[in-house]
Structure 1
């Protein structure tokens, strides 16, 4: 498995992977369609965020997107192909994410977590600091997590 920057022409494949990964948790079709825009990765994201994918034998297994601006850093996306869940792809992406954060001198980042992903982030050392409204369903609350980045 290698971790590398994606090419602009790979963004549709990343969007598809994000959609399938979210759907892994059994959300209904209406919910998933409402989330489609939020799960769409555009070529512009490659210019404005730090995006890396995990690939093996030409197959994209997962990716993450770290957004950094003057207000701070946020793990905007971390998705693993459903066929690769439980095969240490998420852990490999997380380790790469931590190296990226250190290289950018980020001391912490926030995560607006899907409730089903909260356990993974806790295992990786993130802590829940509250909750936030969903950008898709304002009456739905999502875990807000924080991860300190050790030097």
Structure 2
């Protein structure tokens, strides 16, 4: 699938390569430290946080680089017939610098390129205000095996 590469000064967003899976998984783990989750907090999630090479190969996964360093990424998957923004993570030391917004805007274009009119997001409770600020509408919450942690479900409808 051809997809334009977005650039902004020393930033660019590009398709991830399968051999980057381990690095993306580590970035995802670092990102979660921003919210104060202790080490091992997400052990209850099993393989849900794993990013194997096949995940990157088989799904639209895009990396935001700044000065040649990966500072964030997002990924879409299919779930129950919906396009799911399965991951959107910014490295912990880069949160609050506008990277999440850049990834979000790119994700909207990717969804459009995929011929979709909407997508859903299963959000960490701490990230829910970000998705609401981006125009996504929360429609449900879903319990998880961890009683203190609930997924916030959002839907984003693409506009023309």
Q: Name the TM-score, length of structure 1 as normaliser.
A: 0.90
Return closer, same or farther for 1:25/1:83 CA change in 2, 3 Å cut-off.
same
In structure 2, what is the equivalent of residue 126 of structure 1?
136
Contact 2:125–2:150, Cα closer than 8 Å, also in 1: no
Q: After superposition, where does 1:19-98 map in structure 2 within 5 Å?
A: 19-35=29-45, 37-68=47-78, 71-98=81-108
Give runs of ≥4 in structure 1 deviating > 6 Å: none
Measure the CA separation in 2 of the matches of 1:27 and 1:102.
Answer: 34
In structure 2, what is the equivalent of residue 117 of structure 1?
127
Return closer, same or farther for 1:116/1:70 CA change in 2, 3 Å cut-off.
closer
Measure the CA separation in 2 of the matches of 1:18 and 1:33.
Answer: 14
Contact 1:67–1:76, Cα closer than 8 Å, also in 2: yes
Deviation at 1:62, TM superposition (A): 0.2
Measure the CA separation in 1 of the matches of 2:108 and 2:96.
Answer: 20
Return closer, same or farther for 1:145/1:35 CA change in 2, 3 Å cut-off.
same
Number of positions where the alignment pairs a residue of Structure 1 with one of Structure 2: 150
Where 1:37 maps in the other structure, the secondary structure is helix
Contact 1:19–1:36, Cα closer than 8 Å, also in 2: no
Q: CA RMSD in A?
A: 1.8
Measure the CA separation in 2 of the matches of 1:22 and 1:38.
Answer: 14
In structure 1, what is the equivalent of residue 23 of structure 2?
13
In structure 1, what is the equivalent of residue 158 of structure 2?
149
Runs (5+) with no aligned partner, structure 2: 1-10
